[in-house]
């Protein structure tokens, strides 16, 4: 393997060959993001606190902060102390089941234990608790956005942690993965089965195979663009100073270039919106001029009960024909339930449904 050991972030970075070369071949550190030192310090302090909790030792958050604090982060001490205070109240630890804290696991291609620098896959598990054949793996994050359930279920990093745990503790058959969002003292969790981990292994072998066979270190816009450390050097992200709107008439090559630029911008806008949303929910609308603001706008929709509507129609001697529409979502749900309980009813309903197609211009995975 040319580019192993593979951690989760190395595999993710491989989505863009340009960024991969910068980080792992040129060893270019790129733009250091504002929160990286902050998150690192908190990670170290939280690990020390958990160790103290397991050993039933007294600890002082201030003292631990002093120990790990990077001078660059000094101005954010009170923010860190707030997070640690929340941690103290919100973090749940199954002290007697703790099997590892900041446990570094590295394995060979055949899943056997390997040296850290000379392995196929590797990762560091913030916390692993084991109860018989069940592992609970917790990752701490200081990011602002809390992941949605689908993002937890599809999360490659969490699957990687479970996979590494399975290699190290072969008795494990069930896995719960949690993220502790340290800013809010909130958890999100998901599960993985052995079958999920087999599928995960097949997926990452394919992803790694693609990285190993990269021939051109070209930029490929992907979901990492919004956080990319190499954006200032990326040819795709260099906007034309004359403006961001593409020319009216384009060649195929220009269209591809513009579409690639658009993908980078879309990923950045997605993250910018999430962050502004978090700010706005705490601080209210963000006015950018006298007549434009970003904020939460209430939409009001009216619902009518079918039973009451029918009664009013009957009372006034009107026919319902041509006036009633069934909600698509409700009917889909009904068909799904009926497939189990009354398959004939479900199939008759399915048969009378008529597809209505529409076309929307958007970026999509192909």
The site for ligand SF4 (CB under 6 A) is made up of 16, 18-19, 219-222, 224-225, 228, 230-231, 234, 236-237, 264
Closest Cα to residue 103, out of 123, 118, 119?
A: 123
Closer CB to ligand SF4, 23 or 141, in the complex:
23
Listed residue (169, 194, 189, 191) closest to 179, CA to CA: 189
Cβ distance to ligand SF4 smaller for residue 240 or 314: 240
What's the min distance (Å) between Cβ of 234 and ligand SF4?
A: 3
Q: What radius of gyration do the chain's Cα atoms show? A: 26
- The nearer residue to ligand SF4, 127 or 225, going by C-beta atoms, is 225
Residue 55: CB minimum distance to ligand SF4, A: 42
Indicate the residue among 255 and 309 with the shorter CB distance to ligand SF4: 255
Which residue lies nearer to ligand SF4 by CB, 171 or 232?
232
Distance CA 64, CA 60 (A): 6
Residue that has been written with the tokens 């961001």 in this structure: 244
**Within 10 Å of residue 263's Cβ, how many Cβ atoms?**
17
- Measured from the Cβ of residue 101, the count of other Cβ atoms closer than 10 Å reads 19
Q: How far is the CB of 365 from ligand SF4 (least distance, A)?
A: 16
Instruction: Using the minimum distance from each CB to ligand SF4, give the nearer residue, 100 or 219.
Output: 219
**Least distance in Å: CB of 19 to ligand SF4?**
4
Contact in structure between 176 and 127 (CB atoms under 8 Å): no
Gap between the Cα atoms of 217 and 148, Å rounded: 33
Q: Tell me how far, at minimum, the Cβ of 10 lies from ligand SF4, in Å.
A: 14
CB-nearer residue toward ligand SF4: 36 or 337: 36
d(CA 268, CA 264): 6
Shortest separation between residue 219's beta carbon and ligand SF4, angstroms: 4
CB of 26 to ligand SF4, least distance (A): 12
Nearer to ligand SF4, 61 or 228 (CB): 228
Q: Name the region of 223 (left: φ>0; alpha: ψ -120 to 50; beta: rest).
A: alpha
Half-sphere exposure in the Cβ direction for 119 (13 Å, CA):
19
CB contact set of 128 (below 8 Å; sequence gap of 6+): 98, 99, 100, 103, 135, 136, 137, 138, 165
Distance of CA 338 to the CA centre of its chain: 34
Widest Cα–Cα separation across the chain = 82
The number of residues making up the chain comes to 366
Q: In whole angstroms, how close is the CB of 9 to ligand SF4 at the nearest point?
A: 13
Of the candidates 200, 229, 270, 247, the residue with the CA atom closest to the CA atom of residue 35: 229
**From CA 304, how far away is CA 313, in angstroms rounded?**
13
SS3 174: strand
Nearest residue (CB) to ligand SF4, 124 versus 233 = 233
Nearest-approach distance from CB 322 to ligand SF4, in angstroms = 52
């Amino acid at each position: 393997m040319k580019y192993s050991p593979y951690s989760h972030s190395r595999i993710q970075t491989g989505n863009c060959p340009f960024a991969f070369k910068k980080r792992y071949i040129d060893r270019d550190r790129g733009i250091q993001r504002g929160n990286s030192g902050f998150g690192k310090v908190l990670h170290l302090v939280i690990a020390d606190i958990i160790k103290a909790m397991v050993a039933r030792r007294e600890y002082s958050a201030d003292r631990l902060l002093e120990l790990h604090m990077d001078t660059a982060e000094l101005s954010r001490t009170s923010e860190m102390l707030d997070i640690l205070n929340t941690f103290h109240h919100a973090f749940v630890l199954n002290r007697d089941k703790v099997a590892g804290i900041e446990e570094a696991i590295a394995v060979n291609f055949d899943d056997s234990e390997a040296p850290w620098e000379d392995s196929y896959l590797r990762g560091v598990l913030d916390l692993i608790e084991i109860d018989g054949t069940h592992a609970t793996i917790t990752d701490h994050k200081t990011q602002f956005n809390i992941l949605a359930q689908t993002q937890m279920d599809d999360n490659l990093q969490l699957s990687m942690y479970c996979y590494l745990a399975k290699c190290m503790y072969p008795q494990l058959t069930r896995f719960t993965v949690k993220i502790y969002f340290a800013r809010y003292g909130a958890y999100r969790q998901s599960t993985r089965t052995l079958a999920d981990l087999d599928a995960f292994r097949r997926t990452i072998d394919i992803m790694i195979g693609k990285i190993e066979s990269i021939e051109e270190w070209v930029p490929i816009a992907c979901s990492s663009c919004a956080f990319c450390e190499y954006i200032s050097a990326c040819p795709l992200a260099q906007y034309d100073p004359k403006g961001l709107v593409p020319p009216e008439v384009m060649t195929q090559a220009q269209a591809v270039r513009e579409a690639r630029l658009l993908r980078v911008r879309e990923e950045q806008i997605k993250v910018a919106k999430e962050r502004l949303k978090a700010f706005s929910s705490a601080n209210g609308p963000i006015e950018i001029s006298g007549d434009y603001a970003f904020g939460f706008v209430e939409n009001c929709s009216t619902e009518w009960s079918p039973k009451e509507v029918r009664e009013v129609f009957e009372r006034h001697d009107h026919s319902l024909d041509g006036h009633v529409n069934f909600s698509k979502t409700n009917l889909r749900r009904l068909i799904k339930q009926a497939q189990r309980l009354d398959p004939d009813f479900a199939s008759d309903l399915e048969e009378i449904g008529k597809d209505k197609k529409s076309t929307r211009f958007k970026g999509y995975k192909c």
